[in-house]
């Protein structure tokens, strides 16, 4: 769920659905406002939280692995997999961890064949850390660029995955059968990242953000051809989305989290507040109890390192809590 500017020729071109629902085991008193952690060359992109592990889980763009971060900021490798090139969005459903697999050419596992051509979904058992399934998505639409970015679940356990370079949303059933859920010109673009963050709304639809245009779209699950733009607000550089108590939290411009609200079933939306302090090159968020935590991933450095991944040497990252009292600017 990150975004960096990439010029492409025209033809080149979490729980149940509940990663966004409160965790009943969450104890606000023991969670700090900011958690700093260190991990050599990690460049995490996605974040989720496991009550069973009592840790955040983060992905890695550069090393194709998953790590954990505890409340004291202690990082530890959790799992790796030969097929995981760059871990992007990740969510937990039951005892399974779902990870979007992509490649923008800066991973130790990147190849000419996989760079900007990879869209997949890997599933792991949280207890054994073993891979349960690998689902290839890019083969559903051959001959075009691909980048699996983020995912969300409906109550039936179907996973919906965005592709930032192809104008599609995929659906993977609970028994891991993939299909193109919707292919729409509304999701296409010749420059930068298109579709990015995604959430499922209990009203029976998906909300997705198109990063390079700052637009939000509502997509019916029953009939995906029904796509409407959510008007009234623009979220420039929109990245990760998190839905909590019918408010939508959008990480945007890499430096803030915007809290949006709708009174008409997300036909329109308004900005309630924006937290702009403590975010540096942020990507996405996770709801833990009644709080929102956002990953500061140094994503801008990844953008700058395109073609020269050896310069990606950072080890300091952080997780920042959203402060709802910040007034709308």
What values do phi and psi take at 186, rounded to 5?
A: -65, -25
User: Is residue 64 a part of any domain in this protein?
Assistant: yes
What values do phi and psi take at 121, rounded to 5?
A: -135, 120
User: Is residue 4 a part of any domain in this protein?
Assistant: no
- The terminus-to-terminus CA distance of the chain in angstroms comes to 25
User: Is residue 5 a part of any domain in this protein?
Assistant: no
User: Is residue 1 a part of any domain in this protein?
Assistant: no
pLDDT digits (tens, 9 = 90+) for 153-201: 999 999 999 999 999 999 999 999 999 999 999 999 878 899 999 999 9
Task: Compute CA distances 225 → 106, 149, 160, 184, 186, whole Å.
Answer: 35, 21, 15, 8, 11
**Mean pLDDT over each residue of the chain, to the nearest integer:** 91
Domain of residue 105 covers 17-321
Question: How many whole angstroms separate alpha carbon 49 and alpha carbon 120?
Answer: 22
- 99, 122 contact by CB (below 8 A): yes
Q: What pLDDT sits at residue 25?
A: 47
- 69, 63 contact by CB (below 8 A): no
What single DSSP character describes residue 289?
Answer: T
User: Is residue 91 a part of any domain in this protein?
Assistant: yes
User: Is residue 59 a part of any domain in this protein?
Assistant: yes
Query: Is pTM beyond 0.85 here?
Result: yes
Question: Which CATH number fits the domain that encloses residue 166?
Answer: 2.120.10.30
Q: What pLDDT sits at residue 81?
A: 98
- 287, 264 contact by CB (below 8 A): no
**Number of separate domains in the chain:** 1
Tokens read off for 258? 């915007």
Query: From first to last of its 329 residues, what are the pLDDT tens digits of the chain?
Result: 544 434 333 333 333 333 443 443 445 447 899 999 999 999 999 999 999 999 999 999 999 999 999 999 999 999 999 999 999 999 999 999 999 999 999 999 999 999 999 999 999 999 999 999 999 999 999 999 999 999 999 999 999 999 999 999 999 999 999 999 999 999 998 788 999 999 999 999 999 999 999 999 999 999 999 999 999 999 999 999 999 999 999 999 999 999 999 999 999 999 999 999 999 999 999 999 999 999 999 999 998 887 789 999 999 999 999 997 544 44
Q: What pLDDT sits at residue 325?
A: 59
């Amino acid at each position: 769920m990150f975004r960096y500017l990439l010029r492409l020729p025209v033809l080149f071109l979490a729980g149940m659905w509940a990663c966004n629902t409160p965790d009943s085991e969450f104890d606000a008193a023991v969670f700090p406002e900011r958690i700093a952690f260190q991990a050599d060359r990690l460049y995490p992109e996605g974040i989720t939280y496991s009550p069973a592990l009592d840790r955040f889980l983060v992905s890695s763009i550069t090393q194709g692995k998953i790590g954990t971060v505890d409340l004291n900021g202690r990082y530890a490798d959790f799992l790796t997999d030969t097929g995981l090139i760059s871990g992007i969005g990740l969510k937990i459903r039951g005892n399974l961890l779902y990870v979007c697999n992509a490649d923008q050419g800066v991973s130790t596992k990147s190849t000419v064949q996989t760079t900007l051509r990879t869209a997949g979904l890997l599933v792991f058992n949280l207890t054994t850390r073993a891979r349960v399934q690998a689902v290839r998505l890019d083969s559903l639409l051959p001959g075009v660029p691909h980048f699996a970015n983020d995912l969300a679940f409906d109550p039936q356990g179907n996973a919906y995955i965005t592709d930032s370079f192809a104008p599609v949303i995929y659906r993977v059933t609970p028994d891991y059968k993939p299909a193109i859920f919707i292919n729409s010109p509304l999701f296409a673009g010749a420059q930068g990242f298109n579709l990015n963050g995604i959430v499922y709304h209990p009203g029976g639809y998906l909300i997705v953000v198109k990063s390079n245009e700052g637009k939000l779209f509502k997509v019916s699950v029953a009939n995906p051809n029904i796509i409407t733009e959510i008007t009234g607000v623009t979220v420039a550089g929109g990245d990760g989305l998190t839905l909590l108590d019918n408010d939508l939290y959008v990480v945007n411009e890499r430096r803030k989290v915007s809290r949006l609200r709708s009174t008409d079933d997300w036909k329109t939306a308004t900005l309630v507040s924006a937290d702009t302090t403590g975010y540096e090159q942020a990507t996405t968020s996770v709801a833990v109890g009644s709080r929102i935590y956002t990953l500061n991933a140094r994503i801008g450095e990844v953008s700058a390192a395109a073609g020269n991944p050896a310069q990606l040497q950072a080890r300091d990252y952080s997780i920042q809590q959203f402060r709802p009292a910040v007034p709308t600017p």
